[in-house]
Amino acid sequence: MATLRLGDTAPNFTAETSQGTLDFYDYLGDGWGILFSHPADFTPVCTTELGTAAKFKDEFEKRNVKMMALSVDPIDSHHEWIKDINETQNTVVNFPIVADDGTVAELYDMIHPKANDKLTVRSVFIIAPDRTVKLILTYPASTGRNFYELLRVVDSLQLTAYHKVATPANWKNGEKVVVSPSIPTEEAREIFTKGVEEVKPYLRFTPDPLAVSQV
Helices 44-62 and 147-162 pack at an angle, to 10 degrees, of 30
Residue 11 to residue 25: CA distance in whole angstroms: 9
DSSP secondary structure letters along 91-113 = S---S-EEE--SHHHHHTT-B-T
Residues 6+ apart with CB under 8 A from 32: 63, 64, 65, 66, 126, 127, 128, 129, 154, 157, 158
3-state secondary structure of 7: coil
Active-site residue numbers? 46
Contact of 206 with 197, CB cutoff 8 Å? yes
